[in-house]
Amino acid sequence: MTIGSSQNISQPELRTAFSSDRDEREAVEQLYQQLNWPELGFVLFFCSAEYNLEKLADAVQKRFPDILVAGCTTAGEITAEGYDQGSVSAVGFSSDAFAASGVLIESLDNFNFNDAQGVVQELSERCMAQQIAPIKDHSFALTLFDGLSTQEEKVLITLDSALGSIPHFGGSAGDDICLANTHVYFNGAFHTDAAVIILVNTNCEFRVFSGHHMDSRESKLVVTEADSDQRRVLELNAEPAALEYARVVGLPLEELNHHVFALNPIAVRIGEEYFVRSIQSVNDDLSLTFYCAVENGIVLTLMQPGEMAPLLDQQLTREENALGEHLLTLGCDCFLRRLEAELRGESERISNLMQRHRVVGFNTYGEQVDGMHVNQTFTAVAIGRKT
């Protein structure tokens, strides 16, 4: 059993908590003991899918009955002590420094611009009523999606249009790489085929950012046949997709797996930047299923991982230095990055780096930033003290 220790952040604005207790009620009780202070106004948590989610939801509702609580299942947790698995990690936000409002979206396939406008207006009005700070320049949006819903792109593009200048980031829920059931939590229960949208208004400094450590290679793959609704690519370069991918990475078809996908990602180039589109699985018909949307005609570039730890360290340091005093970074880290770190023997190094930079969050099935859904990326908000 592991519970949060004195290393956890305990500031007037924010507190962190975590527990590895396998009993749902005891795990939530430990979170409560670490987060219970008079100013607590909002709790965000990330939990292993190994928990009995009905029992966990019941315990959360009973222990935090009068405040906003949101969360999701993970493909790994990031606690105040670094990477963890089979645990629950949480952040508590002070009502003196943060106004948070949230909404659950259950009809993802029918979510339109009018819905998005209504959601943003409703969330903004609730935050304004708490009189923390003006909405403009003092707010960011957080999204949590069912990671197997395949609806992120449609909802994100629509939501981004309604958010306007409000920056946004988030992650897609995982299930410890089982690819069976992923859940978001809101209103006292876990939900599938749903998303949670949270607007956070604050008088603290913050910076939303995103980045990856991938370098482009020469090999190009043109999507010549795809089922966009199912995120399946049937053909690459007019050949069966799995066979063509195996050819360009130089491996036999039967060796394709999560490890290969993590070390040989492919990306789409937009402007001067590359955005990774990670492969989820090989199908019996030799098609490839992706974690992100794919379209007919797009050109994909084979990528190779650079040095993850130094680049992440530089990125986190840069964002922290831009704040007056850094308190916490709330991060959404792709599970394929964590898998890559394990394969390269750098998991402990990355975990220690996360701890040193005060990162709390989860390993995702996809990351979201300013209307885009990406993979093998670290996307986050760095939060500083009150301005």
What would the DSSP string read from start to end of 307-355?
-HHHHHHHHHHHHHHTSSSEEEEEEEEEHHHHHHHHHTT-HHHHHHHHH
What DSSP character marks residue 10?
B
Instruction: Return the SS3 of 181.
Output: coil
Query: Are both 34 and 123 inside the same structural domain?
Result: yes
Radius of gyration of the chain (CA): 20
d(CA 230, CA 60): 34
| 148-166: average pLDDT | 94
- Rama region for 60: left / alpha / beta (φ>0; ψ in -120 to 50; rest): alpha
Look up residue 128 and give its two tokens: 């304004």
pTM over 0.85: yes
Which pLDDT value is given to residue 270?
Answer: 87
Query: Are both 102 and 219 inside the same structural domain?
Result: no
- What is the per-residue pLDDT across 48-60, written as a single tens digit (0 to 9) for each? 999 999 999 999 9
- Confidence tier at 3 by pLDDT (50, 70, 90): low
| 91-104: average pLDDT | 98
Give yes or no for residue 333 having a pLDDT over 60. Answer: yes
d(CA 209, CA 383): 11
- What is the per-residue pLDDT across 264-303, written as a single tens digit (0 to 9) for each? 999 999 888 899 999 999 999 999 999 988 999 999 999 9
Query: Are both 196 and 226 inside the same structural domain?
Result: no
Query: Are both 40 and 105 inside the same structural domain?
Result: yes
173 close to 143: Cβ distance less than 8 angstroms? no
- Confidence tier at 75 by pLDDT (50, 70, 90): very high
Look up residue 307 and give its two tokens: 């040095």
Which pLDDT value is given to residue 29?
Answer: 98
For residue 261, the domain's CATH number is 2.40.30
Which pLDDT value is given to residue 352?
Answer: 98
| 327-338: average pLDDT | 96
Query: Are both 327 and 296 inside the same structural domain?
Result: no
Instruction: Return the SS3 of 261.
Output: helix
| Torsion angle in degrees (nearest 10) through CA of 11, 13, 15, 16 | -110
- Confidence tier at 1 by pLDDT (50, 70, 90): very low
For residue 219, the enclosing domain spans 214-305
The dihedrals phi and psi of 11, each to the nearest 5 degrees, come to -120, 165
- What is the per-residue pLDDT across 35-47, written as a single tens digit (0 to 9) for each? 999 999 999 999 9
Count of all residues that appear for the chain in the document: 387
Query: Are both 233 and 356 inside the same structural domain?
Result: no
| Torsion angle in degrees (nearest 10) through CA of 149, 339, 270, 299 | -80
Query: Are both 228 and 132 inside the same structural domain?
Result: no
Instruction: Return the SS3 of 107.
Output: coil
Q: Could you say which of 305, 336, 366 is where a domain stops?
A: 305
Relative to beta strand 214-227, strand 299-305 is: antiparallel
Query: Are both 41 and 137 inside the same structural domain?
Result: yes
In the chain, % of residues over pLDDT 90: 90
Which pLDDT value is given to residue 4?
Answer: 54
Query: Are both 333 and 187 inside the same structural domain?
Result: yes
- Number of domains the chain contains: 2
Give yes or no for residue 187 having a pLDDT over 60. Answer: yes
What's the Cα-to-Cα distance from 377 to each of 63, 172, 311, rounded to whole Å?
Answer: 34, 12, 12
Q: Could you say which of 270, 305, 340 is where a domain stops?
A: 305
Q: Could you say which of 305, 327, 361 is where a domain stops?
A: 305
Query: Are both 346 and 259 inside the same structural domain?
Result: no
Query: Are both 71 and 99 inside the same structural domain?
Result: yes
Instruction: Return the SS3 of 124.
Output: helix
Name 82's bridge partners: 79
- Confidence tier at 177 by pLDDT (50, 70, 90): confident
- What is the per-residue pLDDT across 217-243, written as a single tens digit (0 to 9) for each? 989 999 999 998 899 999 999 999 999
Query: Are both 16 and 157 inside the same structural domain?
Result: yes
Angle formed by the axes of helices 335-343 and 308-321, to 10°? 130
The long-range contacts involving 352-358, CB below 8 angstroms and separated by at least 24 positions, are 352/82, 353/309, 353/312, 353/313, 353/316, 354/78, 354/82, 354/83, 355/7, 355/80, 355/81, 355/82, 357/313, 357/316, 357/317, 357/320, 357/329, 358/9, 358/80, 358/326, 358/327, 358/328, 358/329
d(CA 192, CA 356): 34
